[in-house]
Amino acid sequence: MQTLVQNFGVANYLIPVTRTTDSSIDTAAGQAAWLSLKGYSKVTWIIQFGAMTEADLTVKVYQAKSVSGSSQSSTALAMTHYWTNNVSSAATGLMVRTAAASSQAAANATSNTMIAFETDAKQLNALSSFDCVGLVFAGISSAATMFNVTAILHDPRYASDPMIVDANA
């Protein structure tokens, strides 16, 4: 049986830590973490918030020409919607579709919530050699803000590795 992790790329994009005006994630030029979509059709971002004190944290997706972040774009990729359970309380549990304003997902001061959205590789400007994506967060000013980001790269463009089967078992 093939598994999710075997067929898709699962990455711990940002580890769970508290973040205070984190300069490595608040501008496209400062972002150190970029993912290549050369071998995948899209990436699903899952952001899990722990303690939240920020009332207006936002996240946007940018493109770059390499995983080192070279020649990153100056404008965010289009985002029409995202999924969240932070409508008013994390207790709502199920995620609801939310319209994205200004091509960004937004979080409020509700702790223990999630946001999820997808970035399609077709959104990247391939003619200009853009094939990497990265997230930029704005509105972080408190040491009490804690979150992590998991990225699931999926719909591989090439055949995945076959599962190893022991013919002698």
Per-chain mean pLDDT for the chain:
83
Spatial distance between the Cα atoms of 87 and 96, rounded to a whole number of angstroms: 8
93 dihedral zone (left: phi>0; alpha: psi -120 to 50; beta): left
Decide if 165 is inside a domain: no
Determine the pLDDT at residue 1.
Answer: 54
State the amino acid at position 159 in one-letter form: A
Determine the pLDDT at residue 65.
Answer: 93
Domain count, the chain: 1
Contacts of 39 (CB under 8 A, 6+ apart): 9, 153, 156, 157, 158
State the amino acid at position 6 in one-letter form: Q
State the amino acid at position 79 in one-letter form: M
Decide if 163 is inside a domain: no
Angle at 14 between CA 79 and CA 11, to 5 degrees: 85
Q: Which of 90-94, 110-114, 119-123, 152-156 has the highest mean pLDDT?
A: 119-123
Spatial distance between the Cα atoms of 165 and 69, rounded to a whole number of angstroms: 39
Give the pTM: 0.86
Mean pLDDT, range 48-53, rounded to an integer: 84
The H-or-E segment that residue 105 falls in is: strand 105-107
Decide if 80 is inside a domain: yes
For residues 123 and 41, is the Cβ–Cβ distance under 8 A? no
Decide if 3 is inside a domain: no
For residues 55 and 108, is the Cβ–Cβ distance under 8 A? yes
Residue 135 belongs to domain with CATH number: 2.60.120
Return the structure tokens found at 107. 């979080």
Decide if 86 is inside a domain: yes
Domain range for residue 129?
9-156
Q: What are 71's strand-pairing partners?
A: none
Decide if 166 is inside a domain: no
Determine the pLDDT at residue 89.
Answer: 63
